[in-house]
Amino acid sequence: MNSPNLSILVLYYSRHGSTRTMAELLAQGIESVAGCDALLRTVPAISTVTEATEPEIPTQGAPYVELQDLTDCAGLAFGSPTRFGNMASPLKYFWDGTSAQWLGGALAGKPACVFTSTGSLHGGQESTLLTMMMPLLHHGMMILGLPYTHPELMTTSSGGTPYGASHWSGLNGKHPISDDSRTLTIALGRRLAETAQKMRSR
Ligand SMILES: Cc1cc2nc3c(=O)[nH]c(=O)nc-3n(C[C@H](O)[C@H](O)[C@H](O)COP(=O)(O)O)c2cc1C
């Protein structure tokens, strides 16, 4: 009997599209591995005005993540714009609602990676990537970075780090993703999917 494809969750938030572009490249890398599907999901924006609510179904882009997606996925790519050197609050808010999944070990032992987009080149790509790993580690995930066997890690002048994929979107947020950063982002998705495959076959 054929086993079903592995579903890898690509969970991201994006206000202006840069992180979404990266999520789509991660998905491309994931789906370059036979037997792996990427499930793109986002979270609603949050507001300091507590009366503000988002529609139940987003008007455009990926659907909102459901807690069951954490249980069902074979791995997770987690992406956020950099906000003051850290992940965006809608994503932090999402993690703060995952106590039941933490207690139940929904993500424990599964592979994960992180990605981000910044407005300025030295505006916190690495601090964001590293701190985005914290909730994943608390959930028991096995974090993957990028090895220096990728020569682009030495040549990039925009984004792409050993801690995860990154993109420099510029002051106007419209810089196209550089060739090096694109290659590294796809490679990270591929590495995540290959690892999930290996872990399934053990
Ligand atoms: C509230 C806020 C805080 C931000 N903080 C940073 C920052 O610390 N460093 C940086 O380089 N860019 C920062 N930016 C810029 C975003 O990280 C950048 O525009 C990113 O590419 C947006 O991603 P998106 O297009 O997926 O929304 C910030 C933007 C906002 C709105």
- 1 located within any domain: no
CATH number of the domain encompassing residue 122: 3.40.50.360
Distances (CA, A) of 84 to 3, 7, 93, 113, 201: 43, 32, 16, 21, 40
Are 64 and 10 spatial neighbours (Cβ–Cβ below 8 Å)? no
116 CB less than 6 Å from ligand 1?
A: no
- Give the global pTM: 0.96
- 187 located within any domain: yes
Q: Which atom of ligand 1 is nearest to the CA of 173?
A: 19
- 153 located within any domain: yes
- 101 located within any domain: yes
178 CB less than 6 Å from ligand 1?
A: no
82 CB less than 6 Å from ligand 1?
A: yes
Ligand 1 pocket mutation pick from 84, 128, 171 by most atoms within 8 angstroms of CB: 84
- 74 located within any domain: yes
Q: Work out how many domains the chain is built from and give that number.
A: 1
User: Which residue segment(s) compose the domain that 62 sits in?
Assistant: 6-200
CA of 18 to the centre of ligand 1 (A): 10
Per-residue pLDDT of the chain (202 residues; tens, 9 = 90+): 456 899 999 999 999 999 999 999 999 999 999 999 999 999 999 887 766 677 777 777 899 999 999 999 999 999 999 999 999 999 999 999 999 999 999 999 999 999 999 999 999 999 999 999 999 999 999 999 999 999 999 999 999 999 999 999 999 999 999 999 999 999 999 999 999 999 987 6
